[in-house]
Amino acid sequence: MKYLLKILKYSAVTLIFLIGVLTFSGVILYMSADRSLPEVSIPEFMPEPKDSSGVLLFGKSSLERGVGDLWNLRLKGSPEERGLAFGQLCKELMYEQERAFVNQIKILVPNERYLSFLKYLTIIYNRNIQENIEEEFRKEIYATSLGSSDEFNYIGEPYDRQLNYHAAHDLGHAMQEYMLVGCSSFAGWASASEDSTLVIGRNFDFWVGDDFARNKLVTIMEPDRGYKFVSVGWAGMSGVLSGMNEKGLTITMNAAKSSPPIRSKTPISIIAREILQYASNISEAYEIASKREAFVSESLLIGSAEENRAAIIEKTPKGTRLYNTKEDVIISTNHFLSKEFNSDPDNKEAIDAIEGSHSKYRYIRLEELISSKRPLSPEKSADILRDQNGISGESLGLTNEMSINQYISHHAVVFKPVERIMWISTAPWQLGVMVKYDLNDLFDIEGADGKRQYRDIDADSVQIKYVFPKVQKFREMSKMILSKSVERVEVTDDIRSNYIDLNPHFFQTYLNLGDNFFSAGNYKEANEMYIRSLEMKIPSKDIERGIKHKLDKIKRNE
């Protein structure tokens, strides 16, 4: 007994010592975090934006409502001028955006005390983020943060929050294994294009709740240094997700499989911003990407009007590769394509994960659709981005990650770089009217070829009328069924029947029902639902293994 007490005593002392070391280390790391503010000239008394016939004005910049859920933000001047205008013009939009983001975080982390604790963990993790972001962009982000609400200061100070939100995009890629990120993009030129000039299509499938995508910001940027550009994102985002500059260089990003990062580096959207602002062709884009260290792995599809082709920059925490093709089509989903990547033994786990993945499946479907629709036009490209079927037209069920159109797209864009024209989607998802933005007109580009025959791309009225209501109803019922499962309450036969009728070809329909029956102790019905789920098209081996594991649990409970 004395021996046991001695062991417990030493164990307790050891545990207390370890806790002390970890606490001390945490304090040291927190205190060593770079929380300095950029040196910027800020007015002593911040002027209010002025309303001029529905257009908000602040200095040389402006904000006005566009078509549908689009807002047009024109920013001009130095980093401080652009940032101040961004924050003051978009103050309300930034508040709505941050509230939507925080509300989604609260669903995952409902305890506000723990949220406050996460503030300190985030500061420790991102303690060196400032040294990985160029001073120009830090100044712009800081000036923008002056328009942030104090309501969320329990998460962090405004500038810290804005920096960390740029990093959160990358961390979401790594931590969620892309459950919320399944982007698809492609480009065609020469014989693959109806007029031989480059055409590019992309879906940005990044979902953090419907409210987060309620307002889309089209930034028309005229910086004091570098090239003018247009990009699509949200209020508070200084980084770039999709965009084209006055030289006809375009950039879009697709996540690739990555391990959770162990320390902060340059957010990928900031790397994309630097490329869009300072590169005019593929080699210049590659040179910029090579200079920066990334948080996570990402494919950057670069379109070039100068070269009338596209290429993919494969960016990882370890390095940068340029993927070119001899064909007149290039496709990017969520896996790397270069020989260097696929021949590296260190990438075996990622390469194995590609086979049977939703990324490889979407890649094959894009090949199929592009082949059937050649030569590509902006309208045909939009049709591809809206396609919800599987290979050879098979049914995947609505919202399946294997679909090109998963009904979660924050935005979709079609580019014609040589003509300097881009089309940006309006709600819902990529189904609404795609609005034309002509950079020749926006920036008074000299020597424009005068091609003005293009117009807005029509909405997909059929899907909006028949599919959109089904997707909305299915998601509402999914939340209700998951809530019932938490309460261990079995759904009624009518609910089950109506739920299946809404989305009969989707594996998740039966998986959700199976989980409900299992939680209520109805193992027979749960078993049937899990088996039916396995009969559908499943987007990953991990999900398939998870369902089989649940079937094994039922057998053990019988």
Taking the CA atoms of residue 491, residue 492, residue 495 and residue 498 in that order, the dihedral angle to the nearest 10 degrees is 130
* % of the chain surpassing 90 pLDDT: 67
Q: What is the pLDDT of residue 265?
A: 83
520 has a pLDDT exceeding 50: yes
Q: What is the pLDDT of residue 31?
A: 44
Instruction: Tell me the pLDDT band of 114, cut-offs 50, 70 and 90.
Output: low
Residue 103 — φ and ψ, nearest 5°? -60, -35
How far is C-alpha 85 from the chain's CA centre? 25
Q: At which residue do the structure tokens 């499962």 appear?
A: 485
Q: What is the pLDDT of residue 449?
A: 56
510 has a pLDDT exceeding 90: yes
Q: Are 104 and 163 in contact (CB under 8 A)?
A: no
Burial readout 299-324 (b: 16 or more C-beta within 10 A, e: otherwise): bbbbbbbebbbbbbbbbbbeebbbbe
Q: What is the pLDDT of residue 307?
A: 98
110 has a pLDDT exceeding 80: no
In this prediction, residues 96-106 reach a mean pLDDT of 89
Nearest to 457 by CA among 55, 187, 68, 183: 68
Which H helix or E strand runs over 94? helix 91-108
Q: For residues 360 and 333, what is the distance between their CA atoms, to the nearest angstrom?
A: 8
501 has a pLDDT exceeding 70: yes
Write the pLDDT tens digit of every residue in 14-48.
444 444 433 444 344 444 444 567 787 788 788 99
* % of the chain surpassing 70 pLDDT: 82
Nearest to 311 by CA among 338, 334, 290: 338
Q: Which residues contact 125 (CB under 8 A, 6 or more apart)?
A: 263, 264
Q: Are 379 and 457 in contact (CB under 8 A)?
A: yes
Which is higher by pLDDT, 480 or 28? 480
Mean pLDDT, rounded, of the chain: 87
Q: What is the pTM of this model?
A: 0.90
Write the pLDDT tens digit of every residue in 351-377.
666 666 889 999 999 999 999 999 999
Write the pLDDT tens digit of every residue in 432-443.
999 999 999 999
Q: Are 312 and 300 in contact (CB under 8 A)?
A: yes
SS3 192: helix
Q: What is the pLDDT of residue 448?
A: 55
Write the pLDDT tens digit of every residue in 167-178.
766 666 555 444
Q: How many CB atoms lie within 10 A of CB 154?
A: 12
Instruction: Tell me the pLDDT band of 531, cut-offs 50, 70 and 90.
Output: very high
Q: What is the pLDDT of residue 210?
A: 85
Nearest to 250 by CA among 431, 91, 86, 422: 422
In this prediction, residues 272-295 reach a mean pLDDT of 97
Write the pLDDT tens digit of every residue in 217-241.
999 999 999 999 999 999 999 999 9
Q: For residues 201 and 203, what is the distance between their CA atoms, to the nearest angstrom?
A: 7
The amino acid sitting at 234 is W
Q: What is the DSSP string of 479-511?
A: HHHHHHHHTT-PPPHHHHHHHHHHSTT-HHHHH
Q: Which domains does the chain have, with CATH numbers?
A: 468-557 (1.25.40.10)
Write the pLDDT tens digit of every residue in 405-423.
999 999 999 999 999 999 9
Outline where 332-447 has alpha helix (H): 339-342, 348-354, 358-373, 378-385, 439-443
Which is higher by pLDDT, 344 or 396? 396
287 has a pLDDT exceeding 80: yes
Q: Which residues contact 140 (CB under 8 A, 6 or more apart)?
A: 79, 80, 82, 83, 86, 238
Half-sphere exposure of 196 (CA within 13 A, CB side): 2
Nearest to 82 by CA among 146, 150, 36, 130: 146
Q: What is the pLDDT of residue 39?
A: 80
Write the pLDDT tens digit of every residue in 316-330.
888 899 999 999 999
Outline where 204-329 has alpha helix (H): 268-278, 282-291
